[in-house]
Structure 1
């Protein structure tokens, strides 16, 4: 366990490169190629973290100022994934979650229940969080482990279903996103997309950053869109002109830099992914395999970044308008794109449709985050993260996977369980039927628009 703790302490920017290095050696890529691949992935994630840091350092205060300016009165702060993930790793379940999740992946591969080879070890924290919450609810270590198993198996399947989205819209061939916040929302988006396809006038509306750029030229370029959104956010925060202009340039920089740094990750990953697919294809003919990675890769898409910036103020508006809401979105605002990234792909980059599905996703997320405040605070107290007050999070604290599983044992919120659980299960069934009926459904839904 001390070895696992040591590896976790290295953080994702070191952990994932080590995994890629070892994987490259196993795949007989040689020390030089494997080392370069690992370093490039590490460099890419350092770049992603720097850009996210740029968002956090500037969008975070702007969001807080917006909340204070409009007297939102939301008393429980969203600590975000940077606050939640250490709580999960510090839990009793955290000591064994990684080998359990890896074992689930191996067994599912052996029995052909998934085609995802997950190397995103750090983000097993999402599965760990679910297990830790179930342990708190039931006081049973084995039920906590069961939570890890169910969450892991579920997101591996989601990775399978939506791999065509990562390929056709995002241009990430052979890549899947089996992620606790990056993929759980996708079934909702599939249903909403199908509904909008049935509405005569609505189905023809298509607004995306590519078309905006084509129509408006320079004004429609991602860097300009980012700057304009920065001006809007700064204005809502009540900033003086000088600070509004600074925020505009910073958000424009995010739009340009995020796709750039993601390219470094892909440069490191693609040789390893190709080698892995080659070996698996030879051993298991007729089967296509995917390398499971972090949804940060999807943030390399300018449409995802644009949607992310739009949803910063929109998420705050949703939080204000939701009856009985106590959670102030804060820690996860900078990475709000994770929640809606797959929806962007499902909607073919159509920001109009993403506004509808993203709004629905964030309503569900904030609603759940309110109902898990007590458990989240208890988990934080056990980890020594807080001494007084309450905490919440959108990422994982607002996940229907964790919520439904914990509520099945506690039955504390029966009506929300029926509503949220029912809607989510129906969305999953609908997505599964579409996948089984015609796997090309996802191909047709996405088309060939990639960046």
Structure 2
């Protein structure tokens, strides 16, 4: 366990390359190809980390200054995933979370309950945090372990359901995103998309960065959109002219750099993923396995990046409008793109629809994060993360599945449990039917193509 913790402490930019290098060797890719794949992925994650740091160091304080300037009364700071993940790993559940999540994956593969082979070990922290919250709320280590197992199984199933979207929209064949935030929130987008399709007028609205660029010319390019958003946020934060312009350039840089650095991750992952899929397909014919990877891959899409930047100020507005909310979005503002990464694909890049579903996603997230402040703070105190004050997080602290599991075991917030459980449960069931219908259509299409060739 100490060895696993030591590996985790290296962070995703070192840990994932090590995992990919080992997998490459197991797949008989040779030392050279495996090493190149691992290092290339590491370079990509370093790039992503630098871009996210650019946002955290500059956009985060601007958002906080904006909140203070307008006296928003949000007293509990969102520590973000960089603050939440260590709490999960430092908990008692954190010592067994990785083996539990891997065993769940292996069991589901053996029983043919999933086709996702998850190599995204770092993001097991989502499952770990959920289990740690359950253990903290109930006082039971074993209920925490059960929480990890349920969360892991659900994430792998979501990876199955949304893999066709990742393939068709993002062009990542054989890849799944069994992510505890991006995939977990996507069922809300599926229901939103279906509702909009039933509304005359709304269903015809299609806005994306390409259309904006074609209408406005150079002014509509992502780099200009990023700069304009930065300037607006800087002005609202009360910055001077120099700082406003600097923030504009910094957000413009994010729009350009994020897709660029993500390409390195894709370059390293794709050969390994393809080799793994070929071997699995040969040994287990007809199964069409998916390799489970980090949603950072989806940030290479310009629509995801554009929506991410739009949701920075919008998330603050949502936090202000929710009655009784105390949580100030801060730490996770830089990674808002992960919340809506799969949703963008569900909407086929339509930013108008993404804004609607994303607003619903962030509203639920902030509301849950606010309800979980006390338990979140207790976990932080128990793990020695803080000694005073209160904390929250949007990523996992606002997870509907984590909230449902915790409340089912404790029955502390019955009405919110009924509301969140009812809404999210309906979205999940609807998504399952949506997935099954989509798979049937693909089968029919495949049969037609096969008959056309014979």
Structure 1-normalised TM-score?
Answer: 0.97
Three-state SS of the structure 1 residue aligned to 2:369 is: helix
Shift of 1:140: 1.8
Deviation at 1:215, TM superposition (A): 1.9
Report the 3-state secondary structure (helix = DSSP H, G, I; strand = E; otherwise coil) of the residue aligned with 2:148. Answer: helix
C-alpha separation in 1, matches of 2:305 and 2:207 = 15
CA shift, 1:443, in A, is: 11
Name 2:368's counterpart in structure 1. 368
Secondary structure in structure 2 of the residue aligned to 1:77: strand
Q: 1:221 offset after TM fit, Å?
A: 1.1
Unpaired stretches in structure 1, ≥5 consecutive residues: 445-451
Judged with a 3 Å threshold, the aligned counterparts in structure 2 of structure 1 residues 168 and 309 are, in CA distance, closer, same or farther, namely: same
Residue 255 (structure 1) aligned with residue 255 (structure 2):
yes
Over aligned residue pairs, what C-alpha RMSD do you find? 1.3
Structure 1 stretch displaced more, 282-291 or 269-278? 282-291
Aligned twin of 1:448: none
Look up the match of 1:332: 332
Structure-2 residue corresponding to 1:213: 213
Where 2:72 maps in the other structure, the secondary structure is coil
Whole-Å separation in 2 of the counterparts to 1:407 and 1:52 = 33
Aligned match of 2:268: 268
How far residue 432 of structure 1 moved from its aligned partner, in angstroms, is 0.5
Q: Distance in 1 between matches of 2:10 and 2:57?
A: 23
The alpha carbon displacement at 1:441 in A equals: 6.5
Question: Are 2:23 and 1:23 aligned?
Answer: yes
Classify 1:376/1:442 alpha carbon distance in 2 versus 1 (closer, same or farther; 3 Å): farther
For residues 300-319 of structure 1, the aligned pairs below 5 Å read 300-319=300-319
Summarize deviations over 1:245-276 as a string: whole Å, max 9, x none.
11111111100000000000011001101100
The match for 2:452 is none
Deviation at 1:378, TM superposition (A): 0.6
Displacement of 1:290: 1.0
Q: State the match for 1:398 in structure 2.
A: 398
- Structure 2 distance, partners of 1:417, 1:372, is 12
For 1:30 and 1:136, the matched residues in 2 are separated by 45
1:379 aligned residue? 379
Tell me the equivalent position of 2:451.
Answer: none
Name whichever of 429-438 and 345-354 sits farther off. 429-438
Deviation at 1:216, TM superposition (A): 1.7
CA offsets 1:283-309 (integer angstroms, 9 cap, x no match): 111111111111111111111111111
Residue 83 of structure 1 corresponds to 83
Gaps of 5+ in 2: 445-454
Q: Distance in 2 between matches of 1:79 and 1:427?
A: 28
Partners of 1:214 and 1:168 in 2: CA distance = 23
Mapped partners of 1:410, 1:317: distance in 2: 32
Q: Which residue of 1 aligns with 2:103?
A: 103
Check whether the contact 2:182–2:343 (CA below 8 A) recurs between aligned residues: no
Partner residue in 1 for 2:294: 294
CA distance in 1, matches of 2:84, 2:176: 24
User: 1:378-410: CA deviations, max 9, x gaps?
Assistant: 110011111101000000000001000000011
Contact residue 93 and residue 144 of structure 1 kept, 8 A: yes
Runs of 4 or more consecutive aligned structure 1 residues displaced over 3 Å after TM superposition? 440-444
